[in-house]
Every structure is written in structure tokens, then in C-alpha cells.
Structure 1
């Protein structure tokens, strides 16, 4: 690996160990075996490097969301069972020790302090919304429309954000996939034909 890749891998380890606010440029350099000048040369700033490392960590979870380790998603796209299956996989990642989602909560709270990072992560979040639509509907990501990202994708991202905070602060009462699915089923039932 070159310095760019070494820095990214070192930054990922620092984020998971120390979080965003407590990670220094020196921490990254020590962890990556590079030098301080490399951060500016390859990423522009420590915060930009940490933002890229965070996005890379989240992207690494895509297999967990689809359950590929257990042969992938089996429920029909667009079904309540697909909804339950995807959220069950997502929530399993929240239960793991040292969960990335605690880091997500920290970064969300720090957004106003890091406007350049916030803009970078906002774009990454939009692509994450696109990925959720693809997972739930079975439509390839490149075919997901902007309207679907703005509506369905926003809904799934909002749900994800709420889960991150609940699992970070009150895991003992945070909902599991069965409760989320039952909640959605009741919303659908309550709107019925008259609510459409």
C-alpha cells in the first residue's frame, strides 16, 4: 500500500478506537506509519481524511446489510418481510461491540462544527439513501431515480438515524426489526384506502 491507503486504514482504526473529536493528526500518523505532510498532500486536512475513513467504514457494512454472509436477502423486494430482513441485518451491526454507529452519533452531533466534513458526509448520506432504496426494492442502485432517493431514501435514512441514536443511548429499549416492521404494518393499515 502507498501512503494514501496507509493513511486511510490508520484513520479508520483511530476512528473506531478514539472517535472523531479525539483523533489527532499525530494519532493517524502513528497508526499508519506515514508522516504529517502526507495527510495534507493526499487528503487536504485531517478532518477530510477522517470523513473519508468514516464513509469507507460505512461502505464496508453493505454486505452485513444484505446478509450476504448468510446467502443474501431472501424476501420479495418491496415486501414487509424484506423490510424486516434488511432492518434485522442492520440492527445486528448495532449490537456488535465497538459498533461504528456510536461514531455516527458523534459525527452527527458535531456537524455544525465541521462544515466541510458535513458537506462531504451529506453527499455520502445521499448515496446511502440510494443504497437503501435498492436494498428494499430490488432495483439496481444505478437505476434508482432521484425522486425515489428524495422520498423512500429519505424515509429509510431517517429511520436509520433514529435507530443509531436509540441503539447508542438506550440499547435496552431500542426496537428490533420485528417491532419496526409491526409499526410500519400498522401505519399502512391505519392509512387504508381512505388515507390514500
Structure 2
């Protein structure tokens, strides 16, 4: 590996261990075996490197649980499998979730980092549509990214917050699936019908 890849791996390690705010450029250099000048040369800034590391962690995490999703696109079974994968990966992805909350709650203290992560949201939403629906990413249009992707992102962020606050009471894949089924039934039930 070259310095660019070494820096990315070191930054991922630091994100998991220390989060965004507590990770210094020297931490990354120490974890990667590179030098301080390499950060600026390859990524422009520590924050840009950390944003890329965060995106890489999320992609790796998504690749792992996507492998367990099969079945017809859009089915409740596929929805359940998707959330089973998310929940099963909590121990590995929990530190990255905590880091993303750290950035979200940082207000104006990390504007460059927030801007970099916000710019990656559309791609993340595209992946969130693809897995539970079975739609290839290149067939997902911008409207689906802005609607269905935002919906799945809201579910994921809500689950993430539940796990950060109290993993014991966080929703399971079965509970999320049952909640989705009930919500869908309530939306299509004729007005005044008993359920």
C-alpha cells in the first residue's frame, strides 16, 4: 500500500477508537506509519481524510450486511433481512455511528467536515434504497434517492440513536418489520375500518 491507502486505513482505525473530534493528525500518522505532510498532499486536510475514512467505513459495513439479503425486491422478508444485517453489524459499526452523531451534533464547530459528509448523503441514500428493494443502484432515480432513500436513512438514523442510547431497548429487525407492516396497513385501511 502507498501513503494514501495507509492514511485511509489509519484514519478508519482512529475513527473507530477515538471518533472525529478527538482524532488528531498525529494520531492518524501514528496509526498509519506515514508523515504529517502526507495528509495534506493526499487529502488536503485532516477533516477531508476523516470524511473519506468515514465513507469507507460505511461502505464496508454496508457490503457486509448486503450479502445476507435475498428474495424478491420490495418484500417484507427482504426488508427484515436488511435490518437483521444492520442490527448484526452493530458491534462493528457502532463506533462509526457514534462518530456520525458527533459530527451531526457539532453545530458549526466542524463546518468543513459536515459539508463533506453532507455531500456524500445522496450516494448513501442510493445504497439504502438498493439493498432492501433489490433495485440495482444504477436504476435508482433521483426522486427515489430523495424520497425512499431519505425514508430509509431516517429509519437507520433512528435505529442508530436507539443503539447509542440504550442497545437493550433498541428495535430488532423483527420489530422494525412488524412496525413497517402495521404502518403500511394503517395507511391503506379504509377510513373508519377497524384493524
Is TM-score (shorter-chain normalized) higher than 0.5? yes
Tell me the CA shift for residue 96 of structure 1.
4.4
Distance across 2 between alignment mates of 1:9 and 1:111: 27
Q: Could you say if the C-alpha distance between residues 97 and 12 of structure 1 is closer, same or farther in structure 2, counting changes exceeding 3 Å?
A: closer
| Alignment equivalent of 1:113, drawn from 97, 109, 116 | 109
Partner of 2:182: 186
| Alignment equivalent of 1:133, drawn from 117, 129, 134 | 129
Distance across 2 between alignment mates of 1:36 and 1:28: 9
Tell me the CA shift for residue 35 of structure 1.
1.2
Partner of 1:156: 152
Distance across 2 between alignment mates of 1:175 and 1:161: 12
Partner of 1:60: 60
Deviations, residues 29-63 of structure 1 (Å, cap 9, x unaligned): 11111111111111111111111111111111122
Q: Is the 8 A contact 1:77 1:137 kept in 2?
A: yes
Matched, 1:83 2:84: no
Tell me the CA shift for residue 28 of structure 1.
0.9
Distance across 2 between alignment mates of 1:41 and 1:156: 36
Distance across 1 between alignment mates of 2:61 and 2:93: 15
Q: TM-score, normalised by structure 2?
A: 0.91
Instruction: Give the alignment's Cα RMSD to 1 decimal.
Output: 1.7
Tell me the CA shift for residue 111 of structure 1.
5.2
Unaligned 5+ segments in structure 2 are none
Deviations, residues 1-44 of structure 1 (Å, cap 9, x unaligned): 11111111111111111111111111111111111111111111
Distance across 1 between alignment mates of 2:76 and 2:93: 28
Distance across 2 between alignment mates of 1:97 and 1:160: 12
Distance across 1 between alignment mates of 2:108 and 2:156: 20
Partner of 1:20: 20
Q: Could you say if the C-alpha distance between residues 111 and 89 of structure 1 is closer, same or farther in structure 2, counting changes exceeding 3 Å?
A: farther
In the comparison of the two structures, how many residue pairs are matched? 191
Distance across 2 between alignment mates of 1:112 and 1:140: 36
Q: TM-score, normalised by structure 1?
A: 0.91
Q: Is the 8 A contact 1:88 1:176 kept in 2?
A: yes
Tell me the CA shift for residue 99 of structure 1.
4.0
